[in-house]
Amino acid sequence: MKNVRQSEILKIVQSKDIDTQDQLLEELKARGFTTTQATISRDIKELRLVKELTGTGSYRYAQSDRKVSAASDTRLRNIFKEGVVSVDVAQNIVVVRTMPGLASAACSALDAMDIEGMVGSLAGDDTGILIMRDNSFAQQFGGEVHKLLK
**Which pLDDT tens digit goes with each residue over 64-83?**
765 445 555 666 667 677 78
pLDDT, greater one: 88 or 48: 88
Question: How many Å apart are CA 13 and CA 25, to the nearest integer?
Answer: 12
Does residue 134 carry a pLDDT above 60? yes
Question: How many Å apart are CA 53 and CA 103, to the nearest integer?
Answer: 40
The pLDDT of residue 9: 94
In tens, the pLDDT along 99-124 reads 998 888 888 878 777 678 899 999 99
Distances (CA, A) of 65 to 47, 49, 62: 12, 9, 9
Question: How many Å apart are CA 150 and CA 147, to the nearest integer?
Answer: 5
